[in-house]
């Protein structure tokens, strides 16, 4: 169901307000959003619908007017780096009908104007503000903090690894010592959070039972607020992974769903009481209503938070995430040209151009997540490293038919550089031993790396001047018997049968059973052959000896001698 069908009146009110002002602030959207809208997808749809109607979403009216002035005066000013590197026509114009996905992508990308340094900072601040809004809502939720303490327990017992809980700064270099340091710091911080959380809950319980006219109430409220701020600051010291953030938000959503379900039950019962006329039915409904209200109170005590605050916390998370995601989307779209300019330099290395752009876009999204505008650098300067890293890693992982690990690719490249340097130094191709001495590694490892570095060759590679045959035609199939040997074996079998026919039937049978010349090819002992003919072992031995003497006679052995001379067994 479309979003405008689900929330018709509220959406129309938002659209009317937006068209009247030509823009909306996040506060406007938050105020007009229906109370029942808690899905991130629904809020994303709202943003998309407003964008489609040409309604700008801004932080404030002042920011909107400021951005409008900048856009009108500096829209045509392009980023210097992008202007130098991109030689493609990316200007917005009439879109020709084409089936070329690259051309379509480039034209759509060209519609988005480039950002100035000030524009980048503005968007980065919006991302930061959205993240902080969501983080504050999470860090102030008793439900999320209780879940975080449970996560700390799982981390301490080894059920979760530190990599699953917090993010690492990859540019610092991840060592075992660094991982251990992160692990200890995270456990200590969660331990401190647990202590402050217990104090806060104790203070909250005292605050609840204090009489409303008590002179201590103001002092207790201030103390509770200070403890909650301290708790929130402690939680925000940790940079959680997406998996852990989702788990915390999921716990908050679950508590909200329980509260909403109970509130709906209360509303339903209240309306049914107003409609009923039968006293017994009214009494029964009132009983159920009291039970539902008690359940709501129990939920508030269980989650250590009033129902209205539980719902507000989840809505703040959703609004904050939507604001951050919208700003990230704008920053990514404004820098897609940079990805194309870098991807062009890595063509013809085993990956198609569109694949290179896709991998570069993944790197760009990581750069958006980790960009720190306060350092003073332009975003394009920072993003270039991430884009190149993503593209080169993708080439190393995917370009070859047989995948080689990235660390081995680095070793191969180092070996190739060393080999080229030795060629210039010696005036000839270096040996494996010379390369090994230069790289200070064993010669066996050099030979192994050179073997790994070989590119696979297609069996369909044409051979010869006329290219009428293929490489696969010249490769021996060792699983198939040589045709000449097959003919010799057939001939040997026929002549052996012919020679054995010159013996008596009993002698022929004994020789075949003793030497495995029968259909099943199995050899039999004297005992087994004796049982078959109902004679003793000695008698079978005598028959065998007599048959072998006959076979050694030149008239018979001459026919088989040729096979011995040809190397047959």
Distance CA 306, CA 369 (A): 34
pLDDT at residue number 388: 92
Q: What is the pLDDT of residue 69?
A: 53
| CATH tag, 402-453 | 1.10.10.10
Q: What is the 3-state secondary structure (H, E, C) of 303-352?
A: HCCCHHHHHHHHHHHHHHHHHHHHHHHHHHHHCHHHHHHHHHHHCCCCCC
Q: How many residues does the chain have?
A: 569
Tokens of 363: 């790197």
- Phi (first) and psi of residue 79, to 5 degrees: -65, 130
Mean pLDDT score of the chain: 80
When pLDDT is averaged across residues 147-169 and rounded to a whole number, the result is 86
As given in the structure block, the two tokens for residue 84 are 């130098």
CB 47 within 8 A of CB 326: yes
**CATH code of the region 485-565:** 1.10.10.10
Task: Give the position of tokens 């100035």.
Answer: 116
> pLDDT per residue over 378-431, tens digit each?
888 889 999 999 998 888 888 777 788 877 888 888 899 999 999 998 889 999
Identical topology for domains 127-327 and 485-565: no
pLDDT at 356: 92
**pTM for this one?**
0.59
Give me the residue label for tokens 């008239």. 555
Q: Which region, left, alpha or beta, applies to residue 348 given φ > 0 means left and ψ of -120 to 50 means alpha?
A: left
User: Phi then psi for 496, rounded to 5 degrees?
Assistant: -60, -45
Task: Categorize the per-residue pLDDT at 75 as very low, low, confident or very high, splitting at 50, 70 and 90.
Answer: very low
Burial 147-183 (b: 16+ CB within 10 A, else e): bbeebbeebeeeebebeebbeeeeeeeeeeeeeeebb
d(CA 453, CA 432): 14
* 364-355-391 Cα angle (round to 5): 50
pLDDT value of residue 568: 53
Helix axis angle for 406-426 and 379-398, nearest 10°, is 90
pLDDT at 78: 38
Task: Give, in degrees to the nearest 5, the angle at Cα 381 between 376 and 386.
Answer: 120
Nearest to 321 by CA among 254, 378, 253: 253
Q: d(Cα 555, Cα 549) in Å, to the nearest integer?
A: 12
Q: Which two tokens stand for residue 213?
A: 């006219």
pLDDT-based confidence at residue 93 (cuts at 50, 70, 90): very low
pLDDT at 85: 43
| Predicted local confidence at residue 44, as pLDDT | 67
Per-residue CA distances from 398 to 251, 352, 404, 492, 507 (Å): 39, 11, 9, 54, 68
What residue spans define the domains of the chain? 127-327, 402-453, 485-565
Structure tokens that stand for 484 in this block: 């000449």
* 307-317 average pLDDT score: 87
| pLDDT, tens digit, 9 for 90 and up, residues 268-309 | 888 888 887 778 888 888 888 889 888 888 888 888 888 888
- Quickly tell me which residue has 């897609």 as its tokens: 336
What are the tens digits of pLDDT across the range 15-61? 777 777 667 776 677 666 666 655 666 666 777 777 666 677 766 66
DSSP code, position 473: G
Would the pLDDT of 64 be above 70? Answer: no
> Is 312 in contact with 337 (CB distance < 8 Å)?
no
- Among positive and negative, which fits the CA dihedral 215, 216, 217, 222? positive
CATH superfamily of 127-327: RNA Polymerase Primary Sigma Factor (1.10.601.10)
């Amino acid at each position: 169901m479309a979003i405008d069908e689900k929330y018709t009146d509220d959406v129309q009110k938002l659209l009317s307000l937006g068209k009247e002002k030509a823009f909306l602030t996040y506060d406007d959207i938050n105020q007009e959003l229906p109370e029942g809208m808690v899905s991130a997808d629904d809020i994303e749809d709202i943003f998309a619908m407003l964008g489609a109607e040409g309604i700008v979403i801004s932080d404030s009216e002042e920011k909107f007017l400021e951005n409008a002035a900048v856009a009108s005066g500096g829209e045509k000013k392009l980023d210097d780096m992008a202007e130098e590197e991109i030689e493609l026509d990316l200007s917005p114009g009439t879109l020709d009908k084409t089936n070329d996905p690259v051309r379509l992508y480039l034209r759509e990308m060209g519609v988005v104007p480039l950002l100035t340094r000030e524009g980048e900072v503005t968007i980065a601040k919006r991302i930061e503000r959205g993240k902080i809004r969501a983080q504050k809502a999470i860090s102030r939720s008793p439900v999320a903090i209780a879940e975080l303490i449970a996560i700390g327990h799982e981390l301490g017992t080894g059920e979760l690894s530190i990599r699953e809980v917090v993010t690492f700064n990859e540019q610092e270099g991840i060592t075992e010592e660094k991982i251990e340091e992160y692990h200890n710091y995270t456990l200590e911080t969660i331990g401190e959070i647990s202590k402050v959380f217990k104090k806060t809950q104790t203070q909250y319980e005292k605050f609840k039972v204090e009489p409303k006219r008590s002179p201590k109430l103001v002092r207790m409220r201030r103390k509770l607020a200070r403890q909650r701020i301290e708790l929130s600051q402690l939680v925000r010291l940790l940079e959680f992974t997406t998996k852990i953030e989702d788990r915390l938000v999921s716990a908050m959503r679950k508590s909200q769903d329980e509260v909403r379900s109970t509130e709906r039950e209360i509303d339903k019962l209240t309306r049914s009481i107003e409609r009923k006329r039968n006293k017994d039915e009214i009494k029964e409904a009132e009983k159920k209503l009291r039970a539902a209200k008690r359940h709501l109170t129990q939920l508030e005590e269980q989650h250590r938070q009033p129902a209205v605050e539980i719902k507000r916390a989840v809505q703040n998370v959703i609004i904050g995430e939507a604001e951050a995601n919208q700003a990230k989307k704008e920053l990514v779209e404004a820098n897609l040209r940079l990805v194309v300019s870098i991807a062009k330099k890595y063509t013809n290395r085993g990956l198609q151009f569109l694949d290179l752009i896709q991998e570069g876009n993944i790197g760009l999204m990581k750069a958006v997540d980790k960009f720190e505008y306060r350092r003073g650098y332009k975003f394009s300067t920072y993003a270039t490293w991430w884009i190149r890293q993503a593209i080169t890693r993708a080439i190393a992982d995917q370009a070859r038919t047989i995948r080689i690990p990235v660390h081995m690719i680095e070793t191969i490249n180092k070996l190739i550089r060393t080999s080229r340097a030795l060629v210039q130094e010696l005036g000839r191709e270096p040996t494996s031993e010379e390369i090994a001495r230069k790289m200070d590694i064993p010669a066996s490892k050099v030979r192994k790396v050179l073997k790994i570095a070989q590119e696979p060759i297609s069996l369909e590679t044409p051979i010869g001047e006329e290219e009428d045959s293929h490489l696969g035609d010249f490769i021996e199939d060792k699983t198939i018997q040589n045709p000449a040997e097959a003919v010799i074996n057939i001939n040997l079998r026929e002549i052996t049968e012919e020679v054995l026919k010159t013996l008596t039937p009993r002698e022929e049978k004994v020789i075949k059973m003793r030497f495995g010349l029968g259909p099943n090819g199995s050899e039999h002992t004297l005992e087994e052959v004796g049982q078959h003919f109902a004679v003793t072992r000695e008698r079978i031995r005598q028959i065998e000896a007599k048959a072998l003497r006959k076979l050694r006679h030149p008239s018979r052995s001459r026919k088989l001698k040729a096979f011995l001379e040809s190397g047959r067994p």
